[in-house]
Amino acid sequence: MDYVFPDYINQQNLGHEPIDYVWDDSQVEENLDFHYGEQVTEKLATVSLRARLLLMNGIYEWILARLINYTEHKDIFENIAQAAYCANINPYYLAGDFELDRDDFEGPVDGVLWCAGYAGLTGHYHIAYNSYLKNDENYTFESYSPSDALDECSLLITLALHILPQDRRLFFKQWLEENINQLQKNYKLKEIDPFKFLFTEPDELIWFGDYVSREILVLGSQYSNKELIDFCDRFLQQVDYHHNPLLVPPKELKKRIKHPYRLTDI
For helices 149-163 and 166-186, what crossing angle results, to 10°?
A: 160
State how far the Cα of 219 lies from the Cα of 235, in Å rounded to an integer: 20
Q: How many CA atoms lie within 13 Å of 21's alpha carbon, on the beta-carbon side? A: 23
pLDDT tens by residue, 217-242: 999 999 999 999 999 999 999 999 99
For helices 123-133 and 74-89, what crossing angle results, to 10°?
A: 30
> Phi and psi for 47 in degrees, rounded to 5?
-100, 145
State how far the Cα of 10 lies from the Cα of 119, in Å rounded to an integer: 25
pLDDT at 130: 59
Nearest to 2 by CA among 56, 98, 69: 69
pLDDT tens by residue, 149-195: 788 899 999 999 999 999 999 999 999 999 999 999 999 876 655 55
DSSP letter string, 27-78: GTGGG---HHHHHHHGGGGGB-HHHHHHHHHHHHHHHHHHHTTT-S-HHHHH
> Burial letters for 203-231: b for 16+ Cβ neighbours within 10 Å, e otherwise?
eeebbbbebbbbbbbeeeeebeeeebbbb
pLDDT tens by residue, 86-95: 999 988 899 8
User: Angle at CA 53, nearest 5°, toward 252 and 19?
Assistant: 105
Please, are residues 208 and 48 in contact by the beta-carbon 8 Å criterion?
Answer: yes
Higher-pLDDT residue of 46, 250: 250
